[in-house]
Structure 1
Amino acid sequence: MAMTMTGEVQLPAPRQVVWEKLNDPAVLKSCIPGCEELDKTSDNEFQAVAKMKVGPVSARFKGRVTLSDFDPPNSYKITGEGEGGVAGFAKGGATVNLQDKDGGTLLVYNVEAQIGGKLAQLGQRLINGSAKKLADEFFANFAEAVKGGN
């Protein structure tokens, strides 16, 4: 099942600060809902473990995250794939763009993902709702980190 999602969030910090936080594994780990591990394996790759619950399906996903197409401090691309055992798999990517706005930074994201297995059987509405909730939670956590919480 394919899924797309776009959004934007206004952050109360200069673009350079937001860029640095987006590239800090400790900040990302603290912001990703359910993230148990996020280990840097190279300059632009991470191994990740996250526990997620989508509707009645709960699973621990293990996967790889790669950052590419760097244009500091303006944009990059995140791609990843994860296996959740019987729950299924998820893979996809997101472009992240940063723009100066209203004395802070506007972060604009565009996500494309594929899911399969039990997760795909849950239906588009439940998956989209859960994905939006996870994205909202990540960006709320990230906004706090940017303000100086992390």
Structure 2
Amino acid sequence: MQITGSQSIAAPRHQVWAALNDPAILKGCLPGCESVERVSPELFRVVVVSAIGPLRAKFNGDLRLTQAQPPESCVMVFEGQGGAVGFGKGQATVELLDVGSATELRYSAQAQVGGKLAQIGSRLIDSVARKMSDDFFEAFRKLVVPTPSPSITAEADTATPASAKRSSGVPVWVYAAAAVTAVVLGGVLLR
């Protein structure tokens, strides 16, 4: 399967890169994540518990960063085992681009699943993966781009004309790409 997409994050690229490589931030943002351990500068070990329809499994996986060009891009090779439920493996390319004061995260992933996961209906898997990704980025934004206090927001509202304000809604993201590290592993394993 091929998965592509992009995500806009209202923070500088170096800050987004650092957050995506911080095991504590990744663990705190990925639903069902029991642990994210940085084994070396290029290798993460991830444990995610998830349920898809009648299947519930603990996925143990490795995610290796290759061809890293901080804070611009990297390629991630991932593999995870969910015991009798199945496995997932693949590769994702992630690119971070400056867009004004924000960062655009672009990704492209190829993945394959096996075992019982491959037998489950794709609609159910897509829905679980989409929800997991949305939840990840909502939590990620809260940690990386803290919401201003109400008094600061009120002052900014009176100083900014309504026509100049922009919505910062959470765009639908891609079922994978570890925001990249953990989401690729968690989301793609469920896809």
Give me the whole-angstrom Cα distance separating, in 2, the residues matched to 1:145 and 1:9.
16
In the other structure, the counterpart of 1:82 is 80
**2:38 partner amino acid:** K
Q: For residues 15-36 of structure 1, give each alpha carbon's deviation from its aligned partner in whole angstroms, at most 9, with x where no partner exists.
A: 1111111111111111222110
CA shift digits 1:52-98 (9 cap, x unpaired): 11222110011111111111111112221111111111112221111
Unaligned runs of 5+ in 1: none
Residue type of the alignment partner of 1:19: W
Flag as ranges the 4+ runs of structure 1 deviating above 3 A: none
Could you tell me how far apart the structure 1 residues matched to 2:88 and 2:55 are? 14
Q: CA RMSD in A?
A: 1.6
Q: Which has the larger radius of gyration?
A: 2
Aligned to 1:123: 121
Cross-structure match for 2:21: 23
Tell me, in whole angstroms, the C-alpha distance in 2 between the residues paired with 1:58 and 1:51.
7
Identity of aligned residues (%): 46
Between the aligned partners of 1:132 and 1:69, the Cα distance in structure 2 is 27
Q: In 1, distance between residues paired with 2:13 and 2:21? A: 12
Determine the structure 1 residue equivalent to 2:70.
72
Runs of 5+ in structure 2 lacking a partner? 148-191
Q: For the residues of structure 1 that align with 2:91 and 2:10, how far apart are their CA atoms?
A: 25
Task: Report the structure, 1 or 2, having the larger strand content.
Answer: 1
Please show how residues 99-110 of structure 1 align to structure 2 within 5 Å.
99-110=97-108
Q: Take 1:136 and 1:92, find their aligned partners in 2: how far apart are those partners?
A: 21
Task: Please give the secondary structure, in 2, of the residue aligned with 1:128.
Answer: helix
The whole-number CA distance in structure 2 between the counterparts of 1:141 and 1:85 is 28
2-side partners of 1:24 and 1:78: how far apart? 15
The Cα of 1:114 is off from its aligned counterpart by: 0.8
Residue 13 (1) aligns with residue 46 (2): no
SS in 2 for 1:42: coil
Q: Tell me, in whole angstroms, the C-alpha distance in 1 between the residues paired with 2:141 and 2:46.
A: 21
Residue 45 (1) aligns with residue 56 (2): no
Aligned partners of 1:102, 1:39: CA distance in 2, in Å? 33
- For the pair 1:55 / 2:39, whether they are aligned, the reply is no
Please tell me the residue identity of whatever aligns with 1:9.
Answer: Q
- Secondary structure at the aligned position of 2:145 is classed as helix
Match of 1:93 among 86, 91, 94: 91
What CA distance in whole angstroms lies between the structure 2 residues aligned with 1:122 and 1:101? 39
